[in-house]
């Protein structure tokens, strides 16, 4: 039971990083993508291939994963950075599907649909992170570093400029901001940080295949940000905790029917809808309260004047 708890904890930490890194591009730059799992997968495959085929140890492979995922993100945003609105969503969806197709067809290199097995666990100074507790601590350290970096970015002048870009892109351009440069920078940075957690995921599972980084993972990451609130990094942490732990909690719901899996999926879907509606209601209620408070202050100020 203890190992199971550490397994859930590690999974939660991985999705916290995915949610926070995606929030940087969606919540701060206003870029809606359905391909965040591509950079997650790029980091995982880079680490796995370097360890299995080239005999690399984990931490140099981790650095290589950051570079590869960041370079892939940079190349992608340079190609589609001028695309807007619904077209951008469609293009990112295309990237997600192309990525999976490439992994499946490069059988001699990636193992195709079968994937890669026997990925070694990380090792540092002759200490191997092979127990659930040690791996959870490593995941916690990486998660803390990435979330801390994302928080620093969100509070920096660069982060404030991203918020301005999200609210009014034309206005930002009129103030002399290089909007395209900002988009390229944050997208590349977000992809590189997603590559870090991908590098952690591969030795954690010790097996990966293309379907480990499919459209479902990108959608879950998107939902994490929606549940927690776009532009709210700590909300992404809460969203990841809810979405990862909720299916595990439902495993303990006593169901005697033969359609156990389908019933649990239904319960998960209903719970997810409830959380999304609650999040939307909370935001709308907060806006109403703010509007009422703002009108009240204006009225009092006018009477005093």
Q: What is the mean pLDDT of residues 5-26?
A: 91
Note whether residue 256 is domain-resident: no
Query: Which residues are CB-contacts of 61 (< 8 A; sequence separation ≥ 6)?
Result: 46, 47, 50, 51, 199
Q: Residue 290: pLDDT band by 50, 70, 90 thresholds?
A: very low
- Which has more pLDDT, 84 or 30? 30
pLDDT of residue 202: 92
| pLDDT at 182 > cutoff 50 | yes
| pLDDT at 214 > cutoff 50 | yes
Do 169 and 303 reside in the same domain of the chain?
Answer: no
Q: Are 60 and 222 in contact (CB under 8 A)?
A: no
Q: Which domain holds residue 125?
A: 2-251
| pLDDT at 196 > cutoff 50 | yes
Q: What is the mean pLDDT of residues 70-96?
A: 84
Helices (H), 175-214: 179-205
E strand spans, the chain: 116-117, 123-124, 127-128, 207-208
pTM: 0.82
The 10s digit of each residue's pLDDT in 25-80 is: 888 888 888 889 999 999 999 999 999 988 888 999 999 999 999 999 999 888 87
pLDDT of residue 284: 47
Q: Residue 93: pLDDT band by 50, 70, 90 thresholds?
A: confident
Do 163 and 295 reside in the same domain of the chain?
Answer: no
Token pair of 223, please? 């939902």
Token pair of 122, please? 């990380």
Do 121 and 64 reside in the same domain of the chain?
Answer: yes
pLDDT of residue 124: 79
Number of domains in the chain: 2
Note whether residue 147 is domain-resident: yes
CA distances from 114 to 185, 195, 212, 292 (A): 35, 22, 11, 58
Q: What is the mean pLDDT of residues 113-127?
A: 87
Token pair of 279, please? 């999040």
pLDDT of residue 261: 54
Do 283 and 216 reside in the same domain of the chain?
Answer: no
> Rounded CA gap, 123 and 195, in Å?
19
Q: What is the mean pLDDT of residues 163-175?
A: 72
Give which of 52, 101, 103, 68 is closest to 209, Cα–Cα. 103
Do 161 and 300 reside in the same domain of the chain?
Answer: no
Q: Say how many CA atoms lie within 13 Å of 264 toward its Cβ.
A: 16
Based on the number of CB atoms within 10 Å of its own CB, is 17 exposed (0-12), middle (13-18) or buried (19 or more)? buried
């Amino acid at each position: 039971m203890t190992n199971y708890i550490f397994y859930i904890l590690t999974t939660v930490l991985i999705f916290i990083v995915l949610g926070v890194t995606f929030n940087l591009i969606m919540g701060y730059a206003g870029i809606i993508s359905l391909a965040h799992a591509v950079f997650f997968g790029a980091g995982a495959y880079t680490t796995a291939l370097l360890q299995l085929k080239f005999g690399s140890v984990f931490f140099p492979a981790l650095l290589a994963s950051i570079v590869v995922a960041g370079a892939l993100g940079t190349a992608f945003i340079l190609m589609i950075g001028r695309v807007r609105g619904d077209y951008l969503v469609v293009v990112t969806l295309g990237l997600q599907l192309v990525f999976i197709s490439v992994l499946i067809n490069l059988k001699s290199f990636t193992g195709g649909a079968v994937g890669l097995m026997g990925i070694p666990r990380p090792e540092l100074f002759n200490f191997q992170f092979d127990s659930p507790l040690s791996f959870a601590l490593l995941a916690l350290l990486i998660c803390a570093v990435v979330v801390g970096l994302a928080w620093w970015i969100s509070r920096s002048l660069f982060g404030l400029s991203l918020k301005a870009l999200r609210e009014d892109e034309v206005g930002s351009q009129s103030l002399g901001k290089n909007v395209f440069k900002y988009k390229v920078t944050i997208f590349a940075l977000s992809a590189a940080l997603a590559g870090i957690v991908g590098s952690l995921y591969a030795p954690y599972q010790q097996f990966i295949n293309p379907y480990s980084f499919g459209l479902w993972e990108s959608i879950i990451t998107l939902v994490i940000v929606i549940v927690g609130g776009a532009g709210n990094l700590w909300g992404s942490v809460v969203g990841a905790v809810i979405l990862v732990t909720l299916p595990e909690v439902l495993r303990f719901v006593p169901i005697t029917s033969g359609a156990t899996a389908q019933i649990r999926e239904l319960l998960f879907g209903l719970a997810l809808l409830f959380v999304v509606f609650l999040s939307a209601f909370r935001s709308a209620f907060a806006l109403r309260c703010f509007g009422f408070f703002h009108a009240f202050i204006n009225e009092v100020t006018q009477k005093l004047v």
